[in-house]
Structures are given as structure tokens and as C-alpha cells.
DNA sequence: AAACTCATCAACCGCGGTCTG
DNA sequence: ACAGACCGCGGTTGATGAGTT
């Protein structure tokens, strides 16, 4: 069963926006912001539009920092590299391109870049479309070792290219090094793919949106992502057991390494907001 | 000049995830 | 814990203009 419509479709205007509507929406948002509620915004702004339509118009067209047309070679490379790594996650890809929207990137990919790349003889393998695995983050290891090594959670660096959305239910995975191909130097970072959990029976890992639990028989086994209260102290003691010096290191080195753009600044430049684990830390 | 095809991109749609009461 | 409301995303559609026959 589908959800109820977000607005009365019979009483809202659809189709292309007029300059007057653009002006009304722009001036309202500039004066009052969105108020975090797009559904009620059209009425307040005097627009006969669906809230979703207003949101889309603002995000994709009226926002002051939007850049239209003319993708550069560098942007092409970034899009292609990220597409090969994470698939058609346009909002994530767009977040790496200043002033570009997910819709822009998606349209550009579908109408131009894909053809351009294929004409150049490249093969396009989206990790998602080519992978039956429902875990978006899992990319199969080429050839797993015959016997699993001892459990070892590596120091994670710049995991930013792996969208931070589904650690929640899929966390019982270790991290496997990867190198994003063909990125400009400032983006050519090393990160870790999620890969299946170790078979080491002495350690079990589980996670929720706010915590990771690793039961290794040690004295500490809980990390609270929100980093507050007693759990934070407990977590601070827990990191060394896992081989991390701090929670920032555990979460990808964003804060400790100057090489990588921190999620805070990254998300400040985009409407893509941190989610899940990252939301707790950076919102 | 008219008819047709193709390319582009703004906008819509429906769904999953998150938030809130 | 649950349900409803809302947000954000990715896929798709359709209007429009450019190019071709």
C-alpha cells in the first residue's frame, strides 16, 4: 500500500516554474529559511505548489551557490571514479562537486558522460548494479584467504567515500583497503570497504544507529557514537583495545588528517546532511 | 518550410529512512 | 513501541529546442 499524497494534487500547480513563483520562493527562503518544513512553506510563501516541488526547485535551481552547465574534465573524472566505486548514489557524488546537485549529476551522467566514457572504451561497472548483494557497501573481495587471519580492525582513513548511511544494520563487517581510481590528488584517498565479518568465534560485532558493540571478552565492549556521558568515557578506554587512538581515528581520520576534507565542511557545502553515525557526530 | 528524431534537463513520482508525538 | 508525517533520494517522464531529412 502506498503512502498518502503529500499534498492535494488537485489544488496545486504543476509543471514549469514562472519567474514570479521563483521570486516568491527565493525571497521567502532568503527571509525566513525553510523552517525545516517544506510542506507548510508554499502556503506561507503564497505559492500554490506542493512542498516537495518547492524543495526541488530551491535545491536544484534557486539556491545561490548552484553551478549550471559546463562540467569540467576534473568533474568528469570525479563522477566516473565515484560511480565505479559507489554506483548511482548521485547525492553522494554531487556532494564531492561544489555547486552541483544530484539531479545535475544524474542528468549529466545519463545524457553525456556515460556515452563519452563508453566511446572512450571504458567499461562501466557500477558496484551496485553488478552486485546482487543487497548490502550496498559490500564489494566482494577478489580472493579471500583460505584461512581467516586473526581479528584485526585496521585504522580507517578517509572512509568518506563510503556513504555513512547503513552501518546500522550491516556493521558486522570489517574494513578492507581500497584505493579510489583516477581521482585528482586531493581526492585520491585510501579508504576501506566493508567486507564480511571475521569468522573468529571469539569476537562478535553488532551495531545500531548510535553504538557499536564488540564482544571480545575484554573489559570494554561498547562505543556510543554520540560521545556523551559515561559511555563516552567507556568508549575512550575501549578504542585502544581495537587498535584506535581515538574515536576520530575510528571514524575515518576526518578530524586528525589534513589530507581529507572533514565531513563538517563537506556537508556545509551541500544539502546532503550527515546521517546515521556521522549525523550523531557532525550535526 | 514542414515533419520528424534526438538530446537535454526540469520536474514529478514513489519509496525507504528518519523524526516526532 | 508504534504510527503518522515529513525528508531525501534515485528512477522516470515530458516539454522544449536543436538538428536532420
Per-residue model confidence as pLDDT tens for chain A (283 residues): 334 556 776 778 888 999 899 999 999 988 888 877 888 888 888 888 988 899 899 988 998 888 877 888 889 889 988 988 888 889 889 988 888 999 999 989 988 888 888 777 766 665 544 333 333 333 332 233 222 222 222 222 233 333 333 333 333 333 333 344 333 333 333 333 333 333 333 333 333 333 333 333 332 333 333 333 333 333 344 334 333 444 333 333 332 222 233 333 333 333 333 332 233 233 2
Closest nucleotide C1' to the C-alpha of A15: B11
Asked whether A176 and A156 are in contact (CB, 8 A), the reply is no
CB of residue A77 closer than 7 A to nucleic acid strand C? no
pTM for this predicted structure: 0.55
Give residue numbers, 96 to 125 of A, with CB < 7 Å from strand C: 102-103, 106-107, 110
- Order of strands, sheet of A211-215, starting from the edge strand that comes earlier in the sequence: A204-207, A211-215, A222-224
CA–C1' gap, A102 and C9, in angstroms: 9
CB of residue A220 closer than 7 A to nucleic acid strand C? no
Domain ranges of chain A: 19-62, 73-120
Asked whether A59 and A271 are in contact (CB, 8 A), the reply is yes
The CATH code that applies to domain A73-120 is 1.10.10.60
CA–C1' gap, A55 and B4, in angstroms: 36
- Measured in residues, chain A has a length of 283
Amino acid at each position: 500500500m502506498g503512502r498518502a499524497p503529500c499534498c492535494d494534487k488537485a489544488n496545486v500547480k504543476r509543471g514549469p516554474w514562472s519567474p514570479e513563483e521563483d521570486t516568491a520562493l527565493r525571497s521567502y527562503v532568503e527571509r525566513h529559511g525553510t523552517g525545516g518544513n517544506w510542506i507548510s512553506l508554499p502556503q506561507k510563501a503564497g505559492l500554490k505548489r506542493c512542498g516537495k516541488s518547492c524543495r526541488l526547485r530551491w535545491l536544484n535551481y534557486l539556491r545561490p551557490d548552484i553551478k549550471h552547465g559546463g562540467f569540467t574534465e576534473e568533474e568528469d573524472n570525479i563522477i566516473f571514479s565515484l560511480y565505479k566505486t559507489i554506483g548511482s548514489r548521485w547525492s553522494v557524488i554531487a556532494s564531492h562537486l561544489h555547486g552541483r546537485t544530484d539531479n545535475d549529476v544524474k542528468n549529466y551522467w545519463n545524457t553525456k558522460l556515460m556515452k563519452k566514457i563508453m566511446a572512450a572504451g571504458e567499461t562501466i561497472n557500477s558496484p551496485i548494479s553488478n552486485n546482487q548483494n543487497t548490502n550496498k557497501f559490500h564489494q566482494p573481495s577478489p580472493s579471500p584467504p583460505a584461512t581467516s587471519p586473526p581479528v584485526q580492525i585496521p585504522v580507517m582513513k578517509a572512509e568518506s567515500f563510503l556513504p555513512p548511511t547503513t552501518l546500522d544494520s550491516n556493521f558486522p563487517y570489517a574494513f578492507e583497503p581500497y584505493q579510489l581510481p583516477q581521482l585528482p590528488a586531493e581526492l585520491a584517498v585510501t579508504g576501506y570497504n566493508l567486507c564480511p565479518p571475521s569468522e573468529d568465534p571469539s569476537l562478535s560485532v553488532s551495531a545500531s544507529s548510535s553504538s557499536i558493540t564488540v564482544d571480545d571478552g575484554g573489559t570494554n565492549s561498547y562505543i556510543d557514537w554520540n560521545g556523551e556521558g559515561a559511555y563516552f568515557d567507556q568508549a575512550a578506554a575501549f578504542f585502544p583495545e581495537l587498535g584506535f587512538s581515538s574515536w576520530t581515528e575510528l571514524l575515518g581520520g576526518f578530524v586528525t588528517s589534513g589530507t581529507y576534507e572533514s565531513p563538517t565542511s563537506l556537508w556545509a557545502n551541500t544539502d546532503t546532511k550527515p546521517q546515521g553515525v556521522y549525523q550523531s557526530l557532525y550535526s
